[in-house]
Amino acid sequence: MKLRKAKNKNIELVKKFVNYSELKRADWPREVKLAKTLLENSGDFFVKAYLSFKLNSLAWFLTEDGKKYVFEEKLRLSLNFKPTETVILSDKKVGESLSLPKKPRNLKEFLNYGKSKD
């Protein structure tokens, strides 16, 4: 079934979560009504939410698994990570420079590693 441009949030919600290519024409009113009730109950949560798979029906959000997903997703969206503070580095050295021995790059250098050149 070919869809036109979404006219309201209910249809956008159905398009976002439901595999509408397999949805029958008779099922559209039920899905739009479910979308309307979900939007009334949860506000803009479903606009921000992400689901990694497509549903057969929005009624899944009314099941135990769906309610658990909504609860966890609301917690995830409520996280507020503060931006990290920026550190300004100066050009001055702090501490002493270390002289580290050169690592061996081939077999000969490996066999002679640690021996001093006289």
Handedness of CA 49, 60, 2, 33 (dihedral sign): negative
Tell me what pLDDT residue 6 has: 52
- Helix, strand, coil percentages in the chain from 3-state DSSP, rounded to 5: 45, 0, 50
CA distance 18 to 32: 11
Residue type at 57 in one-letter notation: S
User: Is residue 55 within 8 Å of 17, Cβ to Cβ?
Assistant: yes
Quote the tokens at residue 11. Answer: 């249809």
Give which of 38, 25, 108 is closest to 73, Cα–Cα: 38
**Count of all residues that appear for the chain in the document:** 118
Provide the pLDDT for residue 1: 53
Task: Give the model's confidence band at 118: pLDDT under 50 very low, under 70 low, under 90 confident, else very high.
Answer: low
Tens-place pLDDT, residues 18-72: 887 777 888 888 888 888 888 888 777 877 887 888 888 888 888 999 889 889 9
- Can you give the residue ranges of every domain in the chain? 9-78
Give the model confidence (pLDDT) of 68-103 as tens digits: 988 998 888 888 888 888 888 888 888 888 888 788
* pLDDT in the model for residue 12: 81
Phi, psi of 87 (to 5 degrees): -110, 130
